Amino acid sequence: MSAETPLTGVQVVLADLDGVIYRGPDSIPYAVESINAIDRSIRVGYITNNASRTDASVAAHLRELGLNAAADDIVTSPQAATAVLARLVPAGSTILVVGGEGLTDEVEKAGFVVTRSALDSPAAVIQGFAPEVAWVHLAEAAFTLQGEGSSLPWVATNTDWTIPQARGTAPGNGTLVAAVHTAIGRLPIVAGKPEVAIFDEAMTRFGSTSALMLGDRLDTDILGANRAGIRSALVLTGIDTAKQVLAANPLERPQYILEDLRGLHEPYPPIIESTEGNAVLVRSGEAVVKREGAVLTVTASGAAVDLLRAGAAAIWNSGAAIYALDVPAELYS
């Protein structure tokens, strides 16, 4: 087995928050101790699409959970969105903000004037999630961006469809952006994951070219890291599960699949392929998956996460879409 871990050669770890470090107010099992063990030798930054809180309040929450975090360690989608906005409108412009304190704080720090009304003739709209966002706020955005405002910039912090909460999965900012899109018939510029802007912000701040992104979502964390040329690890403690991993398209495939963050410190087994007649055997640790034509079978189970790694590699390297393959339920149940 390889002695290399997912942290080998890494100078900075970029960790998503919801679904990776915490779910609701509480930490995810093994997350805090695993991150603290990294922080002794590798720079740790946190990169989040959640636009509802300030970087200072996020850092305070992380400290309450037992992590060593300061506001400068937090890269937020409002920060990335404000940087995008600054390239589109003059300094000091009036901006219609749809969102909470996490967004208004960054807009004001950038020197813009915040308004909540289309009647103030804003120069642009910036939109992010907050639990208090309601129809009246979405309507003001729509009023601003239609008619004579149809050419005004509209920047969204992110378009995540869902947010993991302590009670389950809740609608995310993507659902709110979609409501405005439906009303005005155009799409915003997006700054957060999976767009590169937020990764550029992080890499500039932390001054590193060798990073590892930790995420729980293929369509934001992993896709964004791949677009930014950053290695990534999917941790199975949040939104995406084995089913989504097996069906991941090439742009959303991580370099590492972890059951939880303890896997960062453990040797990561290499994927070994061999042939047996007309079949291909794919091994990860003690788990072996055989691919013969379009049929996959499990020939050795091993640990659940190793079985998923082997199954994912067997599917990803087949050259076929998952719906064209016969995939045993053992791989995703």
Which residues are identified as catalytic? 16, 18
Number of neighbouring beta carbons within 10 Å of residue 253? 18
DSSP at 32: H
Calpha distance 234→232 (Å, rounded): 7
| Burial track 117-143 (b if 16+ CB lie within 10 A, e otherwise) | ebeeebbbbbbbbbeebeeebbebbbb
Q: Is the separation of the CB atoms in 206 and 46 below 8 Å?
A: no
Calpha distance 148→329 (Å, rounded): 54
| Terminal-to-terminal C-alpha distance of the chain | 26
Calpha distance 261→264 (Å, rounded): 6
72: left (phi over 0), alpha (psi -120 to 50) or beta: alpha
